[in-house]
Amino acid sequence: MYILGISCYYHDSAATLVKDGKIIAAAQEERFNREKHSNVFPISAINYCLSKEGIIINDIDQIVFYERPFLKFHRVLKNLIGSFPRSFSAFMDLVPRYLGERLVLPSKIKNTLDYDGKVLYIPHHISHAASAFFTSGFEKANILTVDGIGEYASMMIGYGEKNRIKGDKILPYPGSVGLLYSAITTYLGFKANGGEGKVMALADFGEPVYLDFLEKIMDLKEDGSFTCFEKYFDFSSGNRMFRNSLEKEIGPSRRPDQKIERHHKDVAASLQAFTEKSVISIINNMIKKNGVKKLAVAGGVFLNCVLNRKILEDTEVEQIHIFPAAGDAGGSSGCALFAYYHLFGGEERYTIKTAALGPKYLKNSIVNLAINRNLIIKELSEEELIKDCAESISLGKICGWFQGNMEFGPRALGNRSILANPAADDIKEKLNRDVKHREWFRPYGVSVLDEKGSEIFEDYVTNSFMIMTDTVKKEKRKSIPGALHVNHSVRYQSVSSDDGKYYRLIKKFYEITNIPMVINTSFNVQEQIVCSPEDAFDTFMNSNIERLYIEDFVVLKQEGDTK
């Protein structure tokens, strides 16, 4: 049975193909149309999913959408009218979109894909829950989904067992951890739905001096739930999600071009502390009620790597599974999985092992493209390629690494990555200033050999999707200064022999340097992660990346380039 899941029309549009309960292809539309956080109908992602399996739309047994558009429109319209006239510009932007796209989705699918079947609509947080539990491999588990907002819910507390999930409780709008995080993100001068990761990094430079204030104005309860007072926040009027009254309480907001001061760091730290306190209280309450210590989570809030580590530290959770595409893109996976198990009686479960669910490219297409662009490209054996790349990284070069299937979700995991040496003192500054062109305070993740992780980190657990941090042991810090955040933590990805060429590369680097990890950041420069060889060549040639290793080839910027 083939089920096609679709998410779109908010942000991070995506498509997922599920075959007999297993995800076999998934990708975000932004990777194809090169529009960051693209929200359009994911026609290119759908076409990729079909081509990956060699099928046509008539082979699809069911198309499923990741939320209920009419219910969401009801909430949006209610909020826009309630905040009028402040919401006038948002009203003029959103209502035509709903009437012209979202509320006529079956017609859009029929006209675009020539699909004559019915479209199933799955509630937003049920889609998140299904993506988490049905890929976890857990026989039973608590389920928690937390994001900005779905239809009316911003959080769902649930439970999964065998091939069934149920939602026990929801936190209704406007009580939303995700929207609060986005609102403070805009207060700090960053963009919502994109800048939240910057705030998470900035938080480690400050102190949570405003935590008591946030708890008070949010009416944080012992079970972790809260309400969001409209006196301080406005989620319906546009990009500025806070009111003047918030600035009167904690000071003026930051302009995007303004220097980051101590105050901004403390606000970020307070927001992070509030988020952790709320989510951890909810999880502790779940365990207290049913005694289950396995947890499956999804929703954009669980892209917060610091929060994910705190869950293991401050709760009785023994195992946590975080879906790698935890945000809205992953809703396309969850709605398809929910349909398979709940609506079509699927029974056999599986555990997701890889996020490499996107397209890969043939050697001939890479060679032909390089020739057409007059690029200096050399084919190497795998042993030669790995040795050349490992030596280049060890000597301080910044290398592009493009291999196999593109990853699904926001993290580069060794298939579309930029790699560097964590032993270099200035590598973080060099990457931020010369390559990624981003804020000075933002750290970089690492890919570490799984068998060596416990030698490096204080509380190491295998973490294949780079969605958790850990503190580096004191005696190891001097050897990897370029990877350390201000508090000696590192976001990391566990790499095992199952990861093939990438594992062998890191192992070779370890043999050369005695360091069992490399810095790994996404292969992009102020745009979405590269998808195709053409994207990789463009980014490589227009950046300060020094070498590109693409499948079996090394690409140089000038003839005679040596280490």
pLDDT tens column, 159-177: 999 999 999 888 888 888 9
Over the stretch 366-404, which tens digit does the pLDDT of each residue have?
A: 999 999 999 999 999 999 999 999 999 999 999 999 999
Q: What pLDDT score was predicted for residue 457?
A: 98
334 exposed, middle or buried (CB, 10 Å; 0-12, 13-18, 19+)?
buried
Binning pLDDT at 50, 70 and 90, where does residue 406 land? very high
3-class DSSP state for residue 181?
helix
Q: What pLDDT score was predicted for residue 82?
A: 72
Q: What pLDDT score was predicted for residue 73?
A: 79
> Residue 218, Cα to own-chain centre: how many angstroms?
26
Mean pLDDT for the stretch of residues 39-45: 97
The two three-digit tokens of residue 235, written as one number: 């989620």
Residue 97 lies in a domain: yes
The DSSP bridge partners found for residue 164 are 161
* 563 has pLDDT over 60: no
66 and 121 belong to one structural domain: yes
* 238 has pLDDT over 80: no
Q: What pLDDT score was predicted for residue 545?
A: 96
Mean pLDDT for the stretch of residues 28-42: 96
CA atoms within 13 A on the CB side of 66: 32
278 and 245 belong to one structural domain: yes
Type of residue found at 547: R
> Do the Cβ atoms of 139 and 341 come closer than 8 Å?
no
3-class DSSP state for residue 186?
helix
Q: What pLDDT score was predicted for residue 432?
A: 95
3-class DSSP state for residue 298?
strand
> Last residue of some domain: 321, 353, 388?
321
431 and 307 belong to one structural domain: no
Mean pLDDT for the stretch of residues 453-466: 97
Residue 377 lies in a domain: yes
Mean pLDDT for the stretch of residues 273-284: 96
Tell me the C-alpha distance between 106 and 117, whole Å. 9
316 and 199 belong to one structural domain: yes
> Last residue of some domain: 343, 373, 388?
343
Q: What pLDDT score was predicted for residue 168?
A: 87
464 DSSP assignment: T
Helices (H) and strands (E) counted in the chain, each on its own, are 19, 19
Residue 391 lies in a domain: yes
452 DSSP assignment: G
Q: What pLDDT score was predicted for residue 560?
A: 60
> Do the Cβ atoms of 164 and 341 come closer than 8 Å?
yes
276 exposed, middle or buried (CB, 10 Å; 0-12, 13-18, 19+)?
buried
The DSSP bridge partners found for residue 469 are 491
The total domain count for the chain is 3
> Last residue of some domain: 308, 343, 378?
343
Q: What pLDDT score was predicted for residue 338?
A: 98
443 and 302 belong to one structural domain: no
The two three-digit tokens of residue 94, written as one number: 């959103």
Tell me the C-alpha distance between 544 and 525, whole Å. 10
CA dist 199 → 124, 161, 555 (Å): 25, 36, 36
457 DSSP assignment: B
Binning pLDDT at 50, 70 and 90, where does residue 561 land? low
212 and 122 belong to one structural domain: no
* 14 has pLDDT over 70: yes
Mean pLDDT for the stretch of residues 444-449: 98
Residue 286 lies in a domain: yes
**Whose structure tokens read 């608590």?**
142
With a CB cutoff of 8 Å and minimum separation 6, the contacts of 45 are 13, 14, 15, 26, 27, 28, 29, 31, 32
**Least confident segment among 239-243, 357-361, 476-480, 485-489:** 239-243
The two three-digit tokens of residue 328, written as one number: 């809205």
Tell me the C-alpha distance between 79 and 408, whole Å. 33
Residue 143 lies in a domain: no
Among 284, 315, 11, 328, CA closest to 157: 284
Among 502, 298, 319, CA closest to 412: 502
Residue 399 lies in a domain: yes
Q: What pLDDT score was predicted for residue 479?
A: 97
**46 phi/psi in degrees, rounded to 5:** -65, -45
Average pLDDT, the chain: 94
Q: What pLDDT score was predicted for residue 466?
A: 97
Q: What pTM was estimated for this model as a whole?
A: 0.95
Alpha helices in 117-236 (DSSP H): 124-133, 177-187, 196-203, 211-218
213 and 116 belong to one structural domain: no
Among 430, 437, 405, 431, CA closest to 418: 431
Tell me the C-alpha distance between 436 and 429, whole Å. 10
335 and 309 belong to one structural domain: no
CA atoms within 13 A on the CB side of 292: 18
The CATH number covering residue 43 comes to 3.30.420.40
Q: What pLDDT score was predicted for residue 164?
A: 96
Binning pLDDT at 50, 70 and 90, where does residue 92 land? confident
> Do the Cβ atoms of 210 and 187 come closer than 8 Å?
no
> Do the Cβ atoms of 282 and 157 come closer than 8 Å?
yes
Residue 438: CB atoms within 10 Å? 14
Q: What pLDDT score was predicted for residue 198?
A: 96
Tell me the C-alpha distance between 80 and 76, whole Å. 6
Over the stretch 491-534, which tens digit does the pLDDT of each residue have?
A: 999 999 999 999 999 999 999 999 999 999 999 998 899 999 99
Q: What pLDDT score was predicted for residue 97?
A: 80
Binning pLDDT at 50, 70 and 90, where does residue 81 land? confident
Kindly state the greatest CA–CA separation across the chain: 66
**Least confident segment among 3-17, 184-198, 227-241:** 227-241
The CATH number covering residue 452 comes to 3.90.870.20
332 and 191 belong to one structural domain: no
255 and 221 belong to one structural domain: yes
State percent of the chain over pLDDT 70.
98
Residue 240 lies in a domain: yes
Residue 347: CB atoms within 10 Å? 9
Q: What pLDDT score was predicted for residue 385?
A: 98
524 and 451 belong to one structural domain: yes
Residue 218 lies in a domain: yes
Binning pLDDT at 50, 70 and 90, where does residue 562 land? low
Mean pLDDT for the stretch of residues 433-461: 96
Over the stretch 192-230, which tens digit does the pLDDT of each residue have?
A: 888 999 999 999 999 999 999 999 988 888 888 888 767
Find out whether the peptide bond into 359 is cis, omega within 30 degrees of 0.
no
337 and 369 belong to one structural domain: no
With a CB cutoff of 8 Å and minimum separation 6, the contacts of 231 are 217, 243, 245
Structural domain span for residue 53 = 2-135+323-343
